[in-house]
Structure 1
Amino acid sequence: MTIDSKSITQKILLFVLVVTGLYFAKDFLMPLLIGGLLATLFLPVCKWIEKKKLSKGLAVFLCLILLLLIITGFISIFSWKISEVITDIDLVKQKIFEAGDYVQENILNRMGITIEDQIVLLKKEQQSLANIIVLIIGSLAYLVTNFVLTLVYFLLLLYYRTHIKNFILQLANPSHQNEIEKVIYSSSHIAQQYLVGLSKMIMCLWVMYGIGFSLLGVKNAIFFAILCGVLEIVPFIGNITGTTLTVLVSALHGASFPLLGGIVLVYGTIQFIQGFFLEPIIVGPQVRINSLFTIIALVLGELLWGIPGVILAIPITAILKIICDHIEPLKPYGFLIGDTEKSRISLITTIKNYLKK
């Protein structure tokens, strides 16, 4: 068996070109992909409305209204809980000032730099107020522009979905059109399954974290439960980040070591329940990606597109996996990305069969 070095070189070159294109086209692709994922999520709703004898345009518009209501409701709930945390901001400021004084004293004692000189050095490194204001305004304008673009793509992709599907089918040979149609259906179905499953997962985590933190007596338990659940959008890293923030803020409020240990214990227990029970039942094995490629996708997404890339990395990889699974030459890549661990799936199947009996 010989290795085709030319073929390998072409594949590596293609990968480099794709990654380079993704990086330089991020401002165009990010709102388009987010709008496409949201359109996929609302596709069953749009079809259901159309079955009620309403026009496609009206159905798409109602989906947009529903999306805006969901976003507004989530922001309202999160803002309400944040307002409770802000009441403790004075305590946080005091702790930060105390830590700053401690650091300044250590620098004075160990390096001989006076506090006055330290302040002068810090002022030199700080940006001017005008530069900070310009940066904030620029960031807000960027966010608003991308949000509006995302909504426009959401509307148009839902409205022209059949037209786009027919275009893709026309690109394929007539003998392959049935297979391409299966790939399109499977990709949209898997995307819906992943997004709906992730939403259900976050709700379950809200309940479990809320109960666990409340029983422990964590201050602002509901806020941290919501935070830990939302950060589940980023696998592995999000869970750890949310729990770490909960531990740090609780420590700033003078929580005892048993309470801090209890927070970590709640996190570990919920992660066990999530990994062995919730994910196989809610998300399903079809969209599972092994841990190695989950980390690779997250790192690559962050390097290319920053935080939006981290959020988009997993659903895009899941869609890529299902496309590879349905195209014969790409099946080895789908196998490589997929999860080979069957123990959790077998455990859930055994439980389901037992309950049926």
Structure 2
Amino acid sequence: MTYTQRWFLLSMLVLIGILIYLLKPILSPFLVGMILAYLGDPIADRLEAKGMSRTLAVITVFIVLSLVFGILLLIFIPLLAGQIKTLIHQLPIWAAWLEENAFPWVYQHLGVDPESLKVNNVTRHIVSKWQTAGNLLTPILKSATDSGVAIITALTNLFLIPVVTFYLLRDWDVMTAKVGSLLPRNLEPVVAKLALECDEVLGAFLKGQLVVMLCLGIIYAAGLWLVGLQFAIIIGLTAGLASIVPYMGFIVGIGIALVAAVFQFDTWLPFVGVVVVFMVGQALEGMVLTPLLVGDRIGLHPVAVIFAILAGGQLFGFVGVLLALPIAAVIMVLLRHLKDIYTLSALYHANQQPITPDE
């Protein structure tokens, strides 16, 4: 890479970062569309290889994904809404149980006065907020009605996502080929190699881990529903979403499920059922889902995943959350290559003779 190329690429990266920061209020539908197009491109390529035109393959993928998404919404939204409504009514009962049973037990056995921690005030505050949650809809709707621009913007974003996804998916291969043709010829082989490695990592994560999360959410929700847990869907989907970080879904899910079981059941058998559900889910994730759908190519440490999501959200909001993991995956690939370059350099070997790649 020449001196001029280095400064040019660095300038481009800085410019892209500034543009993302300045345009982040309007980037969400485009980034969501780009992610969906990236996920659907391999399926469209397979259909195209079987003789379909690109447009027909994209339409087929688009219709199938839309039907699957719509069916999932029709199934889960009513169930989820019902469980949230039940949860709102149950919170005052749980708060009363804590004050009458749990807090006295804590004081008797641990010597901790709940009043010193102001736990009672916190629970009363939460309960009062949840009790008035049903009345919050009116001012929210009024505010939304008063702000016609916000409504138009939200509806436009919802409309743009499928439109952007369709056109990006149709022209995905053409766009990637054009980007490759614009690269400096001396850098194109290296960039192509790095892009291939990044694609493997991103594919393993986006195309694999997201499916693993969905499968785990369904497994946990179905298992807890068979156990008879009242909030099976909420807890199952929460555990599935938390599975974006390895073992986090298991820890969060089983913790919430056991707490919910304490308030619902009087016998020990449902507690065993909850533990069995999450043990089975964890076993399926480790022995079937992750090896089959993700493999060992991802290379993202759980701590790196947590840091990337928090950092992206802090810097760029929702747009940053969408970009966090893809950028983190690319950075991990680049860091591996930088490490190789560093260990071969004079900077690493100090006064020793630097090692050439051929050696």
C-alpha distance in 2 between matches for 1:254 and 1:232? 27
Matching of residues 165-314 of structure 1 within 5 Å = 165-206=176-217, 208-210=219-221, 212-213=223-224, 216-221=227-232, 224-233=235-244, 240-253=251-264, 263=274, 267=278, 270-271=281-282, 274=285, 278-306=289-317, 309-310=320-321, 312-314=323-325
1:61 counterpart letter in structure 2: I
C-alpha distance in 2 between matches for 1:279 and 1:216? 25
C-alpha distance in 1 between matches for 2:268 and 2:317? 35
CA contact (8 A) 1:81 1:223 kept: no
1:165 counterpart letter in structure 2: T
C-alpha distance in 1 between matches for 2:298 and 2:19? 26
1:194 counterpart letter in structure 2: F
Aligned to 2:140: 132
C-alpha distance in 1 between matches for 2:17 and 2:245? 21
Structure 1 stretch displaced more, 129-138 or 47-56: 129-138
2:296 counterpart letter in structure 1: P
2:30 counterpart letter in structure 1: L
Query: Structure 1 residues 165 and 308, CA, compared in 2 at 3 Å: closer, same or farther?
Result: closer
Q: Secondary structure at the match of 1:88?
A: helix
C-alpha distance in 1 between matches for 2:153 and 2:45? 33
Deviations 1:88-121 (A, max 9, x none): 357426437859999xxxxxxxx9xxxxxx9xxx
C-alpha distance in 2 between matches for 1:157 and 1:306? 24
2:203 counterpart letter in structure 1: Q
Query: Structure 1 residues 91 and 28, CA, compared in 2 at 3 Å: closer, same or farther?
Result: closer
Query: Structure 1 residues 211 and 65, CA, compared in 2 at 3 Å: closer, same or farther?
Result: closer
* CA displacement at 1:204 relative to structure 2: 4.2
C-alpha distance in 1 between matches for 2:44 and 2:313? 32
RMSD across aligned positions (CA): 4.7
1:202 counterpart letter in structure 2: M
The TM-score with structure 2 as length reference comes to 0.64
CA contact (8 A) 2:309 2:324 kept: yes
C-alpha distance in 2 between matches for 1:305 and 1:241? 26
The TM-score with structure 1 as length reference comes to 0.64
> How many residue pairs are counted as aligned between the two chains?
306
C-alpha distance in 2 between matches for 1:233 and 1:147? 25
Matching of residues 34-49 of structure 1 within 5 Å = 34-49=32-47
1:48 counterpart letter in structure 2: R
Aligned to 2:114: none
* CA displacement at 1:297 relative to structure 2: 0.2
Query: Structure 1 residues 240 and 22, CA, compared in 2 at 3 Å: closer, same or farther?
Result: farther
Aligned to 2:349: none
* CA displacement at 1:85 relative to structure 2: 2.0
The unaligned stretches of length 5 or more in structure 2 are 1-5, 101-117, 119-124, 343-359
C-alpha distance in 2 between matches for 1:87 and 1:292? 35
Aligned to 2:48: 50
* CA displacement at 1:198 relative to structure 2: 1.7
* CA displacement at 1:19 relative to structure 2: 6.2
Structure 1 stretch displaced more, 158-167 or 89-98: 89-98
Query: Structure 1 residues 207 and 159, CA, compared in 2 at 3 Å: closer, same or farther?
Result: closer
Instruction: Work out whether 1:158 is the aligned partner of 2:169.
Output: yes
C-alpha distance in 1 between matches for 2:169 and 2:64? 14
Aligned to 1:24: 22
C-alpha distance in 2 between matches for 1:312 and 1:257? 44
Query: Structure 1 residues 92 and 45, CA, compared in 2 at 3 Å: closer, same or farther?
Result: same
Sequence identity, in percent?
A: 24
